[in-house]
Homo-oligomer: A and B are copies of this chain.
């Protein structure tokens, strides 16, 4: 009998993730995570955020290094364009969440990825944020995500991988469903 085992390596450690799922299903308190960022105003609409610490598995955790992000408005908004706009950061979050999910799901399904590229676009009528028309929302009217995937799989299999990534995506959920946000000013 000729047995053939396909070696698939997308760089995702699926056994470790399955172990984590098993462990956390027995210890749900360890699954309570708290993600954090700090942001300092620089000048105008330019600010700089830092991401370094978070809480999870019952204790404080730290990234390998501190990640720093400049945000600003573009010059056509009479600003200095020192960084991406806040709404573009949301697109980066969604695109990277869905892409990481595709790599993980593909690994789990024994599908070798060769290339994944995402183009993401969000439509916004800035009459909302400018306060011109109260019936226009401030945020995106809609977001489109276009995947281009080269993988050792059929188009239908690839579509199913993307659909599963979408189903488990944290950022997709945050954007498509309401999330309560509390804003407080320290007294």
In the A-B complex, list the 9 residue pairs whose CB atoms are closest, starting with the nearest. A11-B44, A89-B93, A71-B96, A86-B97, A139-B173, A16-B78, A41-B116, A39-B95, A139-B174
Indicate if the CB atoms of B39 and A117 lie closer than 8 Å. Answer: yes
Indicate if the CB atoms of A17 and B185 lie closer than 8 Å. Answer: no
- Residue A8 is within 8 A (CB to CB) of chain B in the complex: no
Indicate if the CB atoms of A63 and B81 lie closer than 8 Å. Answer: yes
Q: Nearest Cβ distance between residue A17 and chain B, in whole angstroms? A: 6
Indicate if the CB atoms of A172 and B168 lie closer than 8 Å. Answer: no
A residues within 8 Å of B by Cβ?
10-13, 16-17, 20-21, 24-25, 28, 31-41, 43-47, 49, 51, 54, 56-57, 61, 63-64, 67, 69, 71-81, 83-100, 102-104, 113, 115-133, 137-149, 155, 158-159, 162-163, 166, 168-187
Indicate if the CB atoms of A32 and B123 lie closer than 8 Å. Answer: yes
Q: How many protomers of this protein does the assembly include?
A: 2
Residues of B contacting A77 with CB < 8 Å? Answer: 17, 20
Indicate if the CB atoms of A41 and B99 lie closer than 8 Å. Answer: yes
Q: Nearest Cβ distance between residue A31 and chain B, in whole angstroms? A: 5
Indicate if the CB atoms of B33 and A126 lie closer than 8 Å. Answer: yes
| Known contacts A21-B130, A96-B49, A166-B183; A89/B90 CB under 8 A | yes
| Known contacts A33-B123, A85-B35, A120-B36; A177/B90 CB under 8 A | no
User: Closest residue of chain B to A95, judged by CB?
Assistant: B39
Quick one: which of A132, A149, A176 has the most chain B CB within 10 A?
A: A132
- Contact partner, A83, options B43, B67, B163, Cβ 8 Å: B67
Indicate if the CB atoms of B185 and A88 lie closer than 8 Å. Answer: no
